[in-house]
Amino acid sequence: MGLCLTRGVAMVVAQWAVWRAGAAYVPLDPHFPQDRLAYMAEDAALALVLADADTLEVCQAFQWPADKTLTISAEEIIYDLPAEGAVENAPRPLRSPRPPPT
């Protein structure tokens, strides 16, 4: 997964989310030349690029397919947050028991 995001909290959260999902990410700095970004995306065989509103044009400039680009915005992230108090009342996922120590 490629991360073409402006530096900030959103990029750190995206890095953590990709790592937490067990995937790998390739940081695509929007200030790099277009040829270098295209080479990095092709060489890494990226399945998806995560971009924000500021870097979406950069992804389009190095001719990354629009159907393989996921855009995020701070408004969408805030909208998707659970309502206050909903987290405390949410059911907890079941955990598999740990095997006994040997």
Read off the pLDDT of residues 45-90 as tens digits, 9 standing for 90 and up.
988 898 888 888 888 888 888 888 888 776 655 555 555 555 555 5
**Could you tell me the two tokens for 14?**
């995206």
Q: How far is residue 99 from each of residues 20, 81, 94, 95, 96, measured CA to CA in Å?
A: 23, 35, 15, 12, 9
Q: Taking the complete model, does pTM exceed 0.75, yes or no?
A: no
